[in-house]
Amino acid sequence: LREKAWFASSLKSRMQYLGCDPGRPYIVSETPNSYRLEPTDGPVDTFCLLVLDPEQ
């Protein structure tokens, strides 16, 4: 399910999981352009999928 959700999102939206952690100082040398992600690459470790199964 996690992999299916990953590939259902656009490549641009997947790139957000490669940036620095929220709340951490921005390092100029680590710009989004320095990250590479191929369209066929599977989910990265920082991509988490929360599945809720409510009873009501």
Q: Tens of pLDDT along 28-51? A: 665 555 678 889 999 999 899 999
- Distance between first and last Cα of the chain: 22
Q: Is the pTM of this model over 0.75?
A: no
The answer to whether 1 and 51 are in contact (CB under 8 A) is yes
**Residues of the chain by 3-state class (helix, strand, coil), percent to 5:** 40, 0, 60
Helix H or strand E encompassing 3: helix 2-8
Give the span between the Cα atoms of 54 and 35, in whole angstroms: 37
pLDDT value at 17 more than 90: no
